[in-house]
Each structure stands twice: as structure tokens, then as C-alpha cells.
Amino acid sequence: MRYPWLITSSLIFTLNIALPCAAQSKIEEMEKFVASFVSSQQFMGTVLVAQGNDIILNKGYGSANVEWNIPNAPTTKFRLGSITKQFTAASILLLEQQGKLKTTELLKKHFPDIPTAWDKITIFNLVTHSSGIPELSNFPEFEALRLSPTTPEKTIAIFRDKPLDFKPGEKYSYSNSGYILLGALIEKLSGKTYEHFTQENIFIPLKMNNSGYDSNTDIIMYRAAGYTPNAQGKGNAGFEDMSLPYAAGGLYSTTEDLLKWEHALFSGGVLSKASLKKMLTPYKSDYGFGIGISKDKDRTIIHHTGELKGFTTSLAYYPETKTTVIVLANLNGDAPEAISAALGAIVHGEKVVLNADRKEINVPTEILKKYLGTYQVFANVTLTITLADNHLISQITDQIPVPLLAESESLFFVKDAEAQIEFVEDEKHKITHAVVHQSGENIQAPKL
């Protein structure tokens, strides 16, 4: 599940899975999988996989700075994007432990001058994305906002008078706006800036010496430059003033520091047992306090991702096996999710297949014609399947058409990216939906 700082409506084809040689060690399998994304220019960054205190893989790939040819390393610092949210949520719980708030309290107790429409919003609603406050990145002025310094007060003013999308607590809807409000609440109740609160209560106690609140003006040693894909392969990412993402996405860290965080968080070194349970209890849509909690093959995955201009990140923890998978990229794209899902599978003994190792077969045209049509992937994203030269062509909303190759009569893959689409029929042989396998997820897309 993706929880980026900047929500996008697109579905980029980059998926999961598997190496044919079972005799290879887990490390070799992992490195081969990551290398496939590096060689296709879909990934550069750092990767860390650990089980308990045993680090299995800890390596940098590609460049922290392409123009100076400086390589990525485990000590390279990356903008985290929405992985920041779990630190914000933990900060709220620390304030609750200190007796400065209760997560069940109404927001207006601490901000009496909020709009009347917000009167029933609780702190719990903000942390679990169930407040109904509209998403900041959906506003037309959002792109312009990213270019200039701001303050929490100025940012909040942009959405405070907008109508709610739904009644508080009614449903889940990802809202960076809510986490901006949480940052402002942390500052008001602690008397410290968000930056200083997280330093004093999280980073310094845990000796996360390579983590902090990002800045466009400060010199931050060993910080990666951000890049975005283009026709030449990659180019410098656009400017993003870090005062805007704030408590929703403004932190930076390294893979090694994030491993310290995972160890401390899940061993009770950050929060009380009761607070940690509260953080890890899903409310709606498998989302707890600043973090996602889901199941995959009967394994629990506690995870979050992030995205800013030039950076895409993934942090996953498997509590049953105490496995941590961290993928930080200074190149935009879905590779970190795909890599994380595959490495999580490999470390648990599963086989994973790269699309480059899949074999194409010929499928009769009459069978291919059954799959033509439009499929609803998300609320505002469709997948359209057409036919050309006896090959299915897939097109996601607002993206270029992509040819599909058949691995079987119902399973198709993309040649130069890790994604698959499987078509499902009912007992009357009518196609009911497609399943998009992407980044470890199986997304059901009903046929329209």
C-alpha cells in the first residue's frame, strides 16, 4: 500500500517477483533482484534487510550525486517523505504519555478558533486519516506552494475553510493536511518546534545521529541529491521547499538509522506497551497511527512508503520474524515498493521471478479479445485493454500505452518492467475483473 507525501493518481508499472535458481543464497537472490532495477535505471539508493540484529543485506546502489559520481552508501541520507508520519504519530503518543493530551480529545480543545466544521474532529481522526479534512495536494495551488518557504500556520490557512470531504470518523481518506495539523499541535503542547521535539525525544535518545528535519538552506553532510526519470534516463528533480511537507513528510534519515528506529519501536524502547498497541491497531483501511498494518500470506506487515520530488522510500517490518526491509531511493518511481516486497518474500524462503526470466507464449486472438475493455483500478484510475498485432495493449489513465506479453492464456507481463496483469473469469467464462500485481500488492480491478 502506498502512502506518499504527494498522492498521485497514476499506476506506474513496476512489480514483484522471482529468481529461478533455488540453489542461490538469499543474499545472491536479493542482489540479483535489486540489480535488475539498477541496470534498467529504475532504482538507485540504499537497501537494508535484517532479521533481528542480524543484517543480511546493507548496500548502496547508483549515485548519491550523479554529476559528481558520488556513490550511494548505507550512510547516505535520504528525504523520507511520508515515512515521517510514524515519527509524528509516535510524538503524539509521547505527548499523551506525558499527560499533555488524549488522542480521544477533540481538536478544538487545543485550537479553540478552528472552523465550526471541524468541531467533531478528534486527534485520533487526524492520526488515522479519518478526519474528512481535504487533502492538501489535491488543491490547484499545491504545485506553486511547493516552491516557496511557508509556516504551519500559512499552510493550514490554505485548507482550514474548505468543506470536509465526509463526517469525521466516517471513513479513511489519506490526508497530509491532518498531519500538518498534528505538527502544529506538537509544537503548541511541547513549546518546541517539530524539529527540536523529534530530535530531543526520538533521534538523540536512540542515537539516530544521521536523522533530522530537512532544510533547503542548511548544509547536511552526505545527503543524496534527488532525481526523476526522463527521456535520457534521469534528470535533476524539481525544487521542493521542505517547510511544506513538515510533519507529514519533512524528515530525512539513513537505512542504518531507520533500523535503530525499528528495533527501538518494536522492543518498547520508544513507547509504552499500551501506546505501541494503540499505534499498531488498524482503524480503517488497514491504517493505524501513521503506519499501515496488513497481511500477506498470513504474515503481518507493518509498513509505510513515502514520495517527494526526487525521492521514493519504503519501510517494512514483519513482526513474526522480526524482519526489517528498508529501501530508500533518490530516484522517483515504484521500484522501492517492488524491491521491498520481493526482498521480504526472499528472506522468508519464497521464490521470486523477474519478468526478464518469463517466457512469452502465443495466445489465440479469440481468447485475447475476451479481455478487451476498461477496468476500474482506483476511483479515478482505469486500465484500458486494446488489441494490436495480436498483442494486448494496456493503458493506465494519463499514461502511455504498454504492450503485454502472455505467460499463460490469462496471465500477462510487461517486458521491461516488473508488473503483471491477470484476467479472471466466472463459471460462465465471462471476464469479471483483472488483478494488477504490483509492488507486492494484488489490486482487484473490476471490468466496467
26 and 111 share a domain? yes
Q: Alpha-carbon distance 327 to 305, whole Å?
A: 9
Same domain, residue pair 337 and 407: no
- The strands making up 292-296's β-sheet, listed across from edge to edge, are 54-61, 45-51, 323-329, 311-318, 299-308, 292-296
314 and 418, same domain (yes or no): no
pLDDT of residue 233: 85
Work out how many domains the chain is built from and give that number. 2
For residue 414, what pLDDT is reported? 84
Same-domain check for residues 381 and 250: no
Max avg pLDDT among 232-241, 317-326, 426-435? 317-326
C-alpha dihedral, 244 to 248 to 252 to 255, nearest 10°: -150
Do residues 56 and 87 share a domain?
yes
Residues 323 and 416 in one domain: no
Q: What is the grid cell recorded at 345?
A: 518474500
Same-domain status, 112 and 196: yes
pLDDT at 342 over 60: yes
- For CA atoms 342, 346, 350, 353, the dihedral sign is positive
Residues 260 and 389 in one domain: no
Same domain, 278 and 419: no
For the chain, give me the number of helices (H) and strands (E)? 12, 22
Residue 228 binned pLDDT confidence (cut-offs 50, 70, 90): very high
CATH code (residue 6): 3.40.710.10
Q: Contact at 8 Å (CB) between 412 and 392?
A: yes
- Among 299, 333, 357, give the residue marking a domain's end: 357
Question: Are 251 and 257 spatial neighbours (Cβ–Cβ below 8 Å)?
Answer: no
pLDDT at 15: 29
- Which of 300, 327, 357 corresponds to the end of one domain? 357
Give the per-residue SS3 of 283-337.
Answer: CECCECCCCEEEEECCEEEEEEEEEECCEEEEEEEECCCCEEEEEEECECCCHHH
Cell numbers at 373, concatenated: 475493455
- Amino acid 5: pLDDT: 40
The 3-state DSSP class for residue 410 equals: coil
Q: What is the mean pLDDT of residues 389-414?
A: 91
pLDDT at 19 (0 to 100): 33
Domain interval for residue 427: 358-446
Q: Mean pLDDT throughout 403-416?
A: 90
Do 332 and 373 have their domain in common? no
Mean pLDDT of the chain: 91
Q: Which residue has the cell 488522542?
A: 103
pLDDT confidence bin for 220, thresholds 50/70/90: very high
Tell me: the pLDDT tens digits for 83-109? 999 999 999 999 999 999 999 999 999
pLDDT, one tens digit per residue, over 279-331 is 999 999 899 999 999 988 889 999 999 999 999 999 999 999 999 999 999 99
pTM (two decimals): 0.83
- Residue 294's H or E segment, with its range, is strand 292-296
Q: Are 192 and 217 in contact (CB under 8 A)?
A: no
Q: What is the CATH number for 399?
A: 2.40.128.50
Closest residue by Cα to residue 372 from 439, 421, 426, 442? 421
Identify whether residues 239 and 277 lie together within a single domain: yes
Residues 34 and 139 in one domain: yes
Examine the fold and report which residue of 357, 374, 391 is the final residue of a domain before the chain moves on.
357
